[in-house]
Amino acid sequence: MATKTQGRLCLWQLCQLLLFSAGVMSLDCNLLHHQQSKFNRYSLQLLQKTGRSFPLECLGDLTAFQFPEKVLKHKFPQHAQMAAHEILQQLFGIFSRNLLQTRWEKGDVELFRNGLHLQTKHLEKCLSTKGGRPILRLKRYFQRIKDFLEKKKYSTCAWETVRLEAQRCFLYMDKLTVMMKN
């Protein structure tokens, strides 16, 4: 008799576990856009705080990198999620490069990079598919930034230009986050 009741309890607990886990997992991705919105705000503040005002002497290095705005016109949440994931991943890659010539606070930069990494992983959990044409466009865009940095030899002004562009990226991220919400 005791074994039967124990068996029944185990089965019931298993059922509960499955149900709750399903709920928990779905909840995580349902609140993704809220969490992403918070991340965007925090990261942008960090980025603004890291450098001070844009130096006037670097005005000559200003370059139009031409962000692919077609990405923002895809209205499917999955596409927006994929685009956001790609942007964060690329930014992480860029800001992991040679920052020696910058006068930025290292602590702030580290925080910024860690946040990027975590959010990238978070988005990966909720993504079902990867790739697609908008991703290619984004890849080309970030390649242009990387090429610019290399060309300018990671100078202070180059980094300031890149920082300015990264701030603009977060504006696009904010729009993508709104699209991520069904």
Partner 1 sequence: MSTPMYNCVPFAFLFECFLILATFSFNLETSLINSPQKLTMNSQNFQHILSWEAGNNTTVPTYYHVQYIALSSKKEWKDAEECSNTTRLFCNLTKEYDDYENSYIALLKSFTEHGVFNLSSPDFSPYRATYLGPPIVNLTACPGCINVTVKLPAVYLKEKSLIDIYKKLDYSTTVESSDRKEKTSANETSEECFSYVIRSLRLNTNYCVSVAVTASLNSHSIPSALKCIITKSTTRKGDGTIPILSGGLVSFVLGVLLIGLYKGGFICLKSGPWPKVLETTNTLHCSVHVPDPEIVCSVQIIHKEIIKKEWEYCDDDDDDDSGSDSENSDEYTKRGILGRIVNSHAKSNTFVQQSIDCASAESSSQAIKLLDSDAENSEEDQSVIKENESTSKVLFHPSSEVNHSSTSDLRNSACFNINLSTVMLRDPEKTWDESTTLVTHQEDEVDLQDYCAFEEFESKPFTNIDYSKRPDCHNSSHEWQKPSVSDESDTSDSEYIRR
Residue ranges binding partner 1 (CB under 8 A): 37, 40-41, 44, 48, 52-54, 56, 59-60, 62-64, 164, 167-168, 170-171, 174-175, 177-178
Smallest Cα–Cα separation from 83: which of 129, 146, 138, 36?
138
DSSP 100: T
Residue 158 CB, nearest approach to partner 1 (Å): 14
Q: Which is nearer to partner 1, 72 or 132 (CB)?
A: 72
Residue 41 CB, nearest approach to partner 1 (Å): 6
d(CA 96, CA 98): 7
Q: Which is nearer to partner 1, 86 or 165 (CB)?
A: 165
How many degrees, rounded to 5, is the angle at CA 35 between CA 34 and CA 37? 65
Q: Which is nearer to partner 1, 35 or 132 (CB)?
A: 35
